[in-house]
Amino acid sequence: MQVGLPKEIKTDEFRVGLTPGAVREYSSAGHRVLVETEAGLGIGADDDTYRKAGATIAKSASEVFETADMIVKVKEPQPSERRMLRRGQILFTYLHLAPDPEQTKDLLSSGCTAIAYETITDTNGGLPLLAPMSEVAGRLSIEAAGAALRRHGGGKGLLLGGVPGVLPANVVIFGGGVVGSNAARIAAGMGARVVVLDTSLPRLRFLDDVYCGRVRTRYPTKDAVEEELERADVVVGAVLVPGATAPKIITRNSLKLLKAGSVIVDVAIDQGGFAETSKPTTHSEPTYVVDRVVHYCVANMPGAVPLTSSHALNNATLPFGLAIANDGLAGIAKNVHLLAGLNVHAGRVTCKPVADSLGLPFVAPNDALRLAA
């Protein structure tokens, strides 16, 4: 199979879909890899490094899209990239379609096969391709909160961990999954007072055992949510419904419970955000203020640390990408975890949470593959 790697063009995105090491693995398996020139500069990998790994260097993104059977990316294809997709071509990347009807419409019109990293599953019911970026984003969320809390960042001028004789910040985390647990780890390590709210009692028990009381846990009843918001200096949105639009935990009305200069870090912004006042921002302009509350809603947080993120992502995506390259659509059809990642195929939506979120017809993945055969 001819595998194509275009350079990421989303604002402030420096990650790469295939590291040189991953290219070598594809090449060793007998696949041809076409890499757009300078695609790896964000991680310090130049064209010669990719050539040594077995890649051919393309002069432009259009050359990659025109010739590749499978496109491997990091972020969702931008409008100019979506116009280059074609019927029968496989797109393997993060998509986050539920809050993005325009992208979904374009993918359906292209006739391509779009496989989303974020909905691929594993034998434990986890999301193995989402997990590494969730780990990065969870840890970065506390760094971002600390910067936004500073006076020149728009915050109240509070140090997360405090100092002797001065209380630390109160950090409230909604969601105890991969993002939430990593955010809790960093916040607690910095000395903040941390509480995690989650609807899963087993998950709360796990966090309680792991952190031995350094992180408090609560079930998110309405009373509990209001009480924690009133105390919070930082609120981290780490909620996730796989494939679907994120639930709105913080309404515009509940924003008034937060103190002036408090900070919201909405890690769920890729899926539409957990706060009604959230809107996507960039690393260049990461924050804005609504009702005296600082909002940090960068939609590609791990892009700030592309070297770490790209290698962590490729470690997870490599076996799935090779399975697709080795067997094509047949490899998807026989792999239940790749089937879970199939979001669009030949003009049909094949991920039920996406279809439900956008009010579109749903066709089961295997049925879609059979109908288009």
- Alpha carbons 288 and 218: distance in angstroms, whole number: 29
Spatial contact of 68 and 213, defined as CB atoms under 8 Å apart = no
Of 319, 326, 332, the C-alpha closest to 370 is 332
pLDDT band at 373 (very low <50, low <70, confident <90, very high): confident
Q: What is the pTM of this model?
A: 0.93
* 356: annotated active-site residue: no
- Percent over 90 (pLDDT), the chain: 97
Which band of pLDDT confidence, cut at 50, 70 and 90, is reported for residue 367? very high
Task: Report CA torsion sign: 59, 312, 43, 145.
Answer: positive
Which pair of tokens denotes residue 10?
């989303």
CA–CA separation, 35 and 47 (whole Å): 8
pLDDT at 369 over 80: yes
Residue found by looking up tokens 């009010």 in the block: 359
Per annotation, catalytic residue among 31, 106, 270, 345: 270
Q: Which residue has the higher pLDDT, 350 or 153?
A: 350
Separation CA 222–CA 218 (nearest Å) = 11
Among the listed residues 96, 100, 198, 233, the single catalytic one is: 96
**pLDDT, tens digit, for every residue of 339-349?**
999 999 999 99
Q: How confident is the model at residue 372 (pLDDT cuts 50, 70, 90)?
A: confident
Q: What mean pLDDT is predicted for residues 50-67?
A: 98
What is the pLDDT confidence band of residue 135, given thresholds at 50, 70 and 90? Answer: very high
- Which pLDDT value is given to residue 57? 98
Q: What is the pLDDT of residue 336?
A: 96
Q: Could you confirm whether 106 is annotated as catalytic?
A: no
Beta strands in 221-353 (DSSP E): 234-237, 263-266, 287-290, 293-296, 342-345, 348-349
pLDDT tens for each residue of 37-56: 999 999 999 999 999 999 99
> What's the pLDDT tens digit per position in 191-215?
999 999 999 999 999 999 999 989 9
Instruction: Tally Cβ neighbours within 10 Å of residue 345.
Output: 26
Q: Each residue of 228-258: b (16+ CB within 10 Å) or e?
A: bbeebbbbbbbbbebbbbbbbbbeeebbebb
Average pLDDT score over residue span 168-172: 98
Average pLDDT over residues 327-338: 95
**What is the pLDDT, as a whole number, of residue 99?**
94
DSSP string, 316-336: HHHHHHHHHHHHHHHHHHT-H
Amino acid code (one letter) for 114: A
